[in-house]
A and B are shown apart, each in its own frame.
Chain A
Amino acid sequence: MTAMKKIALGLIGAASAAVITSAALAETLTVYTAVEAEDLKKYAAEFNKQNPDIKIKWVRDSTGVVTAKLLAEKDNPQADVVWGLAATSLMKLKAEGMLEPYAPAGVEKLEGSFVDSSNPPSWTGMDAWVAAVCVNTVEAEAKGLPIPSSWKDLTKPVYKGHVAMPNPASSGTGFLDVSSWLQMFGEEGGWKFMDELHQNIAWYTHSGSKPCKQAASGEVPIGVSFAFRGAKSKAKGAPLEIVVPTEGVGWDMEATAIVKGTKKLEAAQKLVDFTVTKEANEMYNKGYAVVAYPGVAKPVEHFPENLSAAMINNDFEWAAVNRDKILAEWKNRYDSKSEPK
């Protein structure tokens, strides 16, 4: 018994010590994000080089989940800053009056299209994140599948059961795909295209990177995902070809904003100031070919060359305003094939 008592006491001691040390730390910002998990540590480290006294507590999930979480917490916001969420989502939050307008120091240096048009802006863009199709060349050859070159190609019967794509309700990538199809093919044409594509879909995934990772490992030959993910998997040695469909590709901005009602406004502003700096943009450029700070972007390895040219003239306002309607319609039509979650 005494031994057990000692163990128990030790445990309690250790735990209370842990509590004390974490409380003694400097200001902590709760930052919601949909940035790929593998980049978060790097982002925080870069920021802490200049602001060592502000700690970032990341809350990461898919775009749809983070958006829904922010909306659900509207009356009692838990986040101080959103760093790296789809601009369409931030527009929705802005419309709900949930963002604190703030012009970060140096915002004027950014490309105009990457900054919210209100003054002061409610959000500032970081980089463009572009749809692409990951095709596993080994599996395509083994199954006798031609490499598709357009979105319409994907509806051909030969691809039946060989395509995975993200569920737009939970994944930002999924949503930008759907919204781009509706813009390119028109409302009616867009849904008709998706009806046909649906016949070929093996499964809809929860996250936007999973289809490409599954394509990389051959679990499914073709994954509708985004170019950045494809380039990363290719760099790891996956037999992938990143296809940029000829009709054009949807894209969205990753963007940053301060949540209205934060009790740590000053620290939040410091963080947002950092997110528009040249250093930050150079950091975004590690994975994203198009960034908000002009002149920074260098070509990214394994990135398809024609990508910027293929980006459609995206009407973000339209996408943001119609997001709920589009998702409701999508769920109604296709949700039965969605992967759990």
Chain B
Amino acid sequence: MADTAFSGKSVPIKPKLSNDDWIMRGAMILIGLVLIIAIILPLYAMLSKSFEDSDGNFIGLANYVEYFSTPALFQSIYNSLSISVIATIVVLVTSFLYAYALTRTCIPFKKFFRLVAMIPLLTPSLLSGISLVYWFGNQGVAKELLFGESIYGPIGIVFGSSYWVFPHALMIVITALSIADSRLYEAADALRTSKIRTFFTVTLPGAKYGLISAGFVVFTLVFTDFGVPKVIGGNYNMLATDIYKQVIGQLNFQMGAVVSVVLLAPALLAFVLDRIVQKKQVALLSAKAVPLVPKPDAKRDMFFLGFCTLVAAVIIGMIGMAQYAALVKFWPYDLSLSLNNYNFDVMDGGGWDSFYNSIELGLWSATIGTVVIFFGAYLVQKGRGFEKGRGLFQAIAIIPLAVPGMVLGLAYIFFFNNPDNPLNFIYGTMIILVVVTITHFYTVSHLTAVTALQQMDNEFEAVSASLKAPFYKTFTRVTVPVCSPAILDISIYLFMNAMTTVSAVVFLYSSDTSLASIAVLNMDDAGDIAPAAAMAMMIAYTCLGARILHALLSRGIMKKTAAWRGR
């Protein structure tokens, strides 16, 4: 490859490259190439599609002109932006208060509240829409609370979106709030600063970067999600649902590509801004910092206990309602319980097969994805020299985070469904679903692996190398065992996301490879909303089971391989 030529000219000062170095570089270039095929080329294909007519002729900006002159489509940009901004504010406030309660107060049941807050991660975003129909729909049990307003529309979208992105924001804010130097608060106390002033001058600035980051995450997730608006949006169109409508409803791929570009732009912008802001962050904790231990304060703790109970009740109410509705025979006229709604085989969406397909996809993504991603991160982190190549790899690995699942899925159609593409054969198979899932969730897994590897002293490699142990021995005997908690984290992350994602796979499944999350979507579409809820809950239980298994495994492995950490 390219670097062979490069080595021929290598300047004498450079240390001689060992076989190991060559193998590692080769492997890294290989994984890098796979990444380029999995992300860069499809995106390029999509971009160029947006400049073509349906016969594939280049027509410049004509599609964009048509898009921006169709008021119904154009309106969606405004709708998407306003919904995302409102949901971001709602989620930031809620997650800040919730995180504050968990980190800075002395309320009881912290562990319980923390676990409950993670529940939305177990299901596709569609579930929150479905639950809202049962709570506040025209036959909803609590529709009076809306005072005549319809849940179908902006109210439902904001509520549903806030529900499912809440844990994503909460995790970031908790991390931000956990880092605090108690000396600052002591100083504030000594100066008799009011509590409110301390809050605005010490607490908030300390959590500033976390909040900004959480804000960008929430905005992007809501902006690009289509599960919630699909189910509960009624006549309120958003960008993500427009792509869907153009591509699935009318097979207008060119317009789908245009909307994708429109959707991609703000997501990319948010991503870039976030990275710039994060660069500015400086270490808050010096070595001399004293961790903050919250002191009891009856009034404050009472308030936060109430608040957390309320939020937890809403979360449990949402998922509980979905399970209840799934068991009801014929809502709302026959509330007796039955398992009829689990008879998926007589409904749209692919039946029970789709559920087993989802598990298969989850296992493949978790195993292959973890191996590839971790090994890739290892090569980037522990390789020697070749700075440019490693830098480039790192940059490509970050891109998937900025690309909405739906955009990636559509890009895959354009790229892989092209008969001239030698990889065309994976189209319509389980393979393409595995590839798109791993790619879509690549970045977070990659960063997890990098963080774990960074914590490992480079001396390990140096010592092994001097003992003439080949790198793969060090890798399997030292690196992997030491990083096993991170490896497990990556695999559970990939598994759960493979189970719940809709947007990345919705354009790519075939009748043989229908998935549980897609079945939820299609059953809801056909009006079979209770079976849709039943399938969504099957996903939830599967993820929960995987989570528990993960916890047990982690504990076992930690005991076995990480005894040294205790020292």
Where the two chains meet, the residues of A that have a C-beta atom closer than 8 Å to any C-beta of B are 1, 7-8, 11, 15, 37-38, 41, 57-60, 64-65, 68-69, 71-72, 76, 138, 167, 169-170, 202-203, 205-207, 209-214, 217-220, 236-239, 335-341
| A-B pairs under 8 A by CB, number | 117
A65 to B249, CA, bound (A): 6
- Which of chain B's residues have a CB closer than 8 A to the CB of A206? 249, 525
| Any A CB within 8 A of the CB of B206 | no
- Min C-beta distance of A35 to chain B, whole Å: 11
The answer to whether B72 touches A341, judged by C-beta atoms less than 8 angstroms apart, is no
- Which of chain A's residues have a CB closer than 8 A to the CB of B371? 8
A8 to B491, CA, bound (A): 12
| Any A CB within 8 A of the CB of B419 | yes
- Which of chain B's residues have a CB closer than 8 A to the CB of A8? 367, 371
Given A203-B152, A335-B72, A340-B226: A213 in contact with B526 (beta carbons within 8 A) = yes
The answer to whether A341 touches B526, judged by C-beta atoms less than 8 angstroms apart, is no
A296 to B345, CA, bound (A): 28
Q: A37-B526, A169-B249 are known contacts; what are 16 more A-B pairs with Cβ within 8 Å?
A: A8-B367, A15-B364, A64-B249, A65-B248, A167-B249, A170-B249, A217-B139, A218-B139, A219-B133, A238-B330, A336-B71, A336-B75, A336-B235, A340-B242, A341-B248, A341-B249
| Any A CB within 8 A of the CB of B481 | yes
What are 25 A-to-B residue pairs whose CB atoms are below 8 Å? A7-B367, A8-B371, A37-B346, A65-B251, A68-B250, A69-B251, A167-B249, A169-B250, A202-B234, A203-B234, A203-B235, A206-B249, A210-B526, A210-B527, A217-B331, A218-B138, A218-B139, A218-B333, A219-B133, A237-B333, A237-B334, A335-B72, A338-B237, A340-B229, A340-B233
| Any A CB within 8 A of the CB of B137 | yes
The answer to whether B527 touches A214, judged by C-beta atoms less than 8 angstroms apart, is yes
The answer to whether A41 touches B346, judged by C-beta atoms less than 8 angstroms apart, is yes
Given A37-B347, A339-B234, A341-B249: A218 in contact with B244 (beta carbons within 8 A) = no
- Which of chain A's residues have a CB closer than 8 A to the CB of B19? none
The answer to whether B476 touches A1, judged by C-beta atoms less than 8 angstroms apart, is yes
| Any A CB within 8 A of the CB of B382 | no
A167 to B349, CA, bound (A): 20
A335 to B345, CA, bound (A): 33
A205 to B245, CA, bound (A): 11
Where the two chains meet, the residues of B that have a C-beta atom closer than 8 Å to any C-beta of A are 71-72, 75, 133, 137-139, 152, 226, 229-230, 233-235, 237-238, 241-242, 244-245, 248-251, 330-334, 345-349, 360, 363-364, 367, 371, 419, 476, 480-481, 510-512, 525-529
- Min C-beta distance of B410 to chain A, whole Å: 14
A121 to B133, CA, bound (A): 47
Interface of A is mostly: mixed
Given A65-B249, A207-B525, A340-B241: A219 in contact with B137 (beta carbons within 8 A) = yes
| Nearest residue, chain B, Cβ from A214 | B527
Please give me the 7 A-B residue pairs with the lowest Cβ-Cβ distance, nearest first.
Answer: A213-B527, A340-B241, A210-B527, A38-B346, A68-B251, A37-B348, A336-B72
